[in-house]
């Protein structure tokens, strides 16, 4: 595997559900958790995981040894058993249940959609009793029309062992949960303290405007200090605009003066606020390899190379020019000197032009814009350059659009690791005092 950082310790363990192309799994692994099981349903995504070192677990239900490859279970999560991992002690259960039921781009069915996989997260919790849970999903979960059901999801995460009866509707079960929450009678190791935060990935160093919801839960018996846990944004748009006005942004990007003047004319008119944060990372930053894992710029693709041919420009794979990009009302390109738009699960032609980029040189195909390459899109998702994506272009772009940006996931996975370390230290200290007394 090639995570963004080498973890200092593999003592902690994790299970990854709905792994997709491996974005969140990579993040959690990089934060020091060794995977005991990785599950994914989509065929191409499983091929991606295997291409990066995952190995099929098969029918062996033994706990994998430290240092081994990711044990992959391909197939429907509803058929996966987790009880055998309980004795091993699972520190983190991570996953982003399929978001189509709640996405603005989906059918807006929410709970009625059979693709809703939150119940499988709760079943996995009951069978493994992990110390912590990390879940990423779309902002559509927060829409007013879904608020009653989303509140129910959070209550079910708080009390996952209070299992819903087969003949009960979700609102009937929710009434039971409300009474149980108010009564606070459940034992601490069967109850979870839940933290919910809306995030913009750009605020955490991802060169992309990506509005998501992060849910983190800790088992109540750990007594996690939430004030010390909460990850804080470290990047801002105000800091980006300030870096352009003071010239520091342009010092690292040697662009023609005409480009700089055009971008400066389009800066927000709002007064700048000194917030002490770092500048948002832009699409140009991502392409130039600034503040990523390689530091190596992606080479430009000449207009004559927009022919779907793999040239291995500069030694990079998946940096393939794609022709026929169009711009029209409602279908506008990404701007190089802004964070990219949200990467969506489509090859190109997605409704808002999210896979199109505007170029500095208007002579490109006579239009001034082109489709982003898979490699550029992977950088926007903060995937390492050596992470292989399987399948044709459309499948690769779909996997990236469905993924968790590695850097965003890493921020929260590291925070969870710190919280668990603090809980362990507190328990050790308490046990030591007890022994001395």
Any idea what the CATH number is for the domain that residue 325 is in? Answer: 3.90.120
Give the pLDDT band (50/70/90) at residue 146: confident
Q: What is the pLDDT of residues 150-167, one digit of tens each?
A: 899 999 999 999 999 989
Does residue 118 contact residue 152 with C-beta atoms inside 8 Å? no
pLDDT of residue 346 exceeding 50: yes
Average pLDDT of the residues in 357-385: 87
| Cα atoms in the 13 Å half-sphere on the side-chain side of 41 | 13
pLDDT of residue 116: 81
Domain boundary among 276, 305, 337: 276
> Residue 2, class by beta-carbon neighbours within 10 Å (0-12 exposed, 13-18 middle, 19+ buried)?
middle
| 53 φψ region: left (φ > 0), alpha (ψ -120 to 50), beta (else) | left
- Which residue did the predictor score with more confidence, 31 or 110? 31
Average pLDDT of the residues in 372-393: 95
pLDDT of residue 145: 83
Does residue 389 contact residue 317 with C-beta atoms inside 8 Å? no
Active-site residue among 14, 46, 99, 135? 99
For residue 7, being part of any structural domain is answered with: no
pLDDT of residue 172: 92
- The number of distinct structural domains making up the chain is 3
Average pLDDT of the residues in 284-303: 84
pLDDT of residue 288 exceeding 70: yes
Give 4-61 as a DSSP string: SS--S---EEEEEES-TTSHHHHHHHHTTEEEEEEEE--HHHHHHHHHTT-EE-TT--
Q: Are strands 92-95 and 192-200 parallel, antiparallel or unpaired?
A: unpaired
pLDDT of residue 147 exceeding 60: yes
Residues 228 and 240 in one domain: no
For residue 382, being part of any structural domain is answered with: yes
Distance (Å) of CA 121 to CA 151, 156, 161, 213:
16, 10, 12, 16
Is residue 99 flagged as an active site residue? Answer: yes
Average pLDDT of the residues in 110-135: 87
Distance (Å) of CA 161 to CA 68, 185, 230:
32, 12, 26
Helices 406-436, 23-30: crossing angle, 10 deg rounding:
40
For residue 215, being part of any structural domain is answered with: yes
Residues 394 and 409 in one domain: no
When the pLDDT of each residue in the chain is averaged and rounded to a whole number, the result is 88
Residues 263 and 332 in one domain: no
Give the pLDDT band (50/70/90) at residue 301: confident
Tokens of 78: 């509803």
pLDDT of residue 424 exceeding 80: yes
For residue 3, being part of any structural domain is answered with: no
* Residue 218 φ/ψ, nearest 5 degrees: -120, 140
Residues 29 and 105 in one domain: yes
pLDDT of residue 425 exceeding 90: no
Domain boundary among 276, 306, 329: 276
pLDDT of residue 268: 84
Nearest in space to 326 (alpha carbons), one of 304, 345, 305, 352? 352
Residues 205 and 297 in one domain: no
| 69 φψ region: left (φ > 0), alpha (ψ -120 to 50), beta (else) | beta
Q: Which of 10-24, 97-111, 120-134, 258-272 has the lowest mean pLDDT?
A: 97-111
Q: What is the pLDDT of residues 232-286, one digit of tens each?
A: 999 999 999 999 999 999 999 989 999 999 999 989 887 777 889 999 999 999 9
Residue 322 sits at the vertex; the CA angle it makes with 320 and 324, to the nearest 5 degrees, is 170
pLDDT of residue 294: 60
pLDDT of residue 218: 97
Q: What is the pLDDT of residues 315-339, one digit of tens each?
A: 899 999 988 888 888 888 999 999 9
pLDDT of residue 86: 93
Residues 30 and 62 in one domain: yes
pLDDT of residue 364 exceeding 80: no
pLDDT of residue 305 exceeding 90: no
Residues 152 and 242 in one domain: no
pLDDT of residue 6: 39
Residues 252 and 169 in one domain: no
For residue 357, being part of any structural domain is answered with: yes
Does residue 325 contact residue 251 with C-beta atoms inside 8 Å? no
pLDDT of residue 1 exceeding 50: no
pLDDT of residue 366 exceeding 90: no
For residue 4, being part of any structural domain is answered with: no
Q: What is the pLDDT of residues 22-36, one digit of tens each?
A: 999 999 999 999 999
Residues 427 and 328 in one domain: no
pLDDT of residue 113 exceeding 70: no
pLDDT of residue 10: 46
Tokens of 148: 């009653």
For residue 6, being part of any structural domain is answered with: no
Rounded Cα distance, 379 and 352, in Å:
20
pLDDT of residue 405: 97
For CA atoms 52, 53, 58, 64, give the dihedral sign: negative
Residues 393 and 265 in one domain: no
Kindly give, in sequence order, each residue whose CB lies less than 8 Å from that of residue 123, ignoring residues fewer than 6 positions away. 82
pLDDT of residue 353: 84
Specify which of 9-13, 111-115, 367-371 reaches the highest per-range mean pLDDT.
367-371
For residue 292, being part of any structural domain is answered with: yes
pLDDT of residue 99 exceeding 80: no
Residues 395 and 414 in one domain: no
**Which residue segment(s) compose the domain that 246 sits in?**
236-276
Any idea what the CATH number is for the domain that residue 419 is in? Answer: 3.40.50.150
Share of the chain above pLDDT 90, in %: 64
Does residue 127 contact residue 190 with C-beta atoms inside 8 Å? no
Look at the pTM and tell me if it is higher than 0.85: yes
pLDDT of residue 205 exceeding 90: yes
Give the pLDDT band (50/70/90) at residue 102: low
Domain boundary among 225, 255, 276: 276
Residues 228 and 79 in one domain: yes
């Amino acid at each position: 595997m090639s995570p963004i950082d080498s973890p200092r310790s593999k003592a902690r363990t994790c299970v990854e559900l709905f792994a997709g192309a491996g974005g969140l799994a990579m993040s959690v692994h990089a934060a020091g958790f060794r995977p005991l099981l990785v599950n994914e349903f989509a065929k191409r995504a499983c091929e991606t995981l295997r291409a990066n070192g995952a190995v099929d677990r098969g029918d062996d239900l033994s706990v994998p040894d430290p240092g081994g490859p990711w044990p992959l279970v391909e197939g429907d999560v509803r058929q996966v058993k987790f009880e055998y991992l309980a004795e091993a002690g699972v520190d983190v259960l991570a996953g982003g249940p399929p978001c189509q039921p709640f996405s603005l781009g989906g059918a807006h069915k929410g709970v009625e959609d059979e693709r809703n996989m939150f119940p499988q997260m709760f079943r996995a919790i009951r069978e493994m009793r992990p110390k912590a849970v990390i879940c990423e999903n779309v902002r559509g979960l927060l829409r007013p029309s879904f608020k009653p059901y989303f509140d129910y999801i959070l209550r079910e995460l708080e009390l996952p062992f209070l299992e819903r009866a087969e003949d009960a509707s979700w609102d009937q079960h929710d009434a039971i949960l409300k009474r149980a929450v108010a009564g606070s009678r459940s034992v601490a190791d069967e109850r979870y303290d839940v933290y919910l935060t809306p995030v913009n990935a750009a605020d955490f160093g991802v060169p992309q405007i990506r509005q998501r919801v992060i849910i983190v839960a800790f088992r109540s018996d750990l007594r996690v200090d939430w004030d010390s846990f909460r990850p804080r944004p470290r990047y801002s748009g105000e800091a980006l605009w300030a870096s352009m006005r003071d010239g520091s942004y342009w010092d690292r990007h040697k662009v023609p003066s005409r480009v700089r003047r055009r971008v400066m004319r389009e800066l927000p008119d709002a007064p700048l606020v000194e917030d002490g944060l770092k500048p948002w990372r832009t699409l140009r930053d991502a392409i130039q390899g600034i503040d990523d894992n390689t530091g190596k710029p992606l080479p430009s693709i000449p207009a004559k190379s927009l022919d779907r041919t793999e040239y291995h420009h500069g030694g990079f794979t998946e940096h393939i020019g794609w022709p026929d990009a169009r711009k029209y009302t409602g279908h506008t390109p990404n701007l190089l000197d802004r964070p990219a738009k949200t990467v969506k699960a489509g090859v190109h032609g997605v409704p808002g032009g999210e896979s199109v980029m505007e170029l500095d040189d208007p002579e490109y195909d006579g239009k001034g814009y082109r489709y982003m390459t898979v490699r550029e899109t992977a950088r926007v998702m903060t995937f390492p350059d050596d992470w292989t994506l399987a399948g044709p272009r459309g499948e690769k772009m779909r996997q990236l659009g469905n993924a968790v940006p590695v850097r965003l996931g890493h921020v929260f996975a590291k925070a969870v690791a710190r919280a668990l370390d603090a809980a362990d230290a507190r328990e050790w200290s308490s046990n030591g005092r007890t022994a001395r007394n």
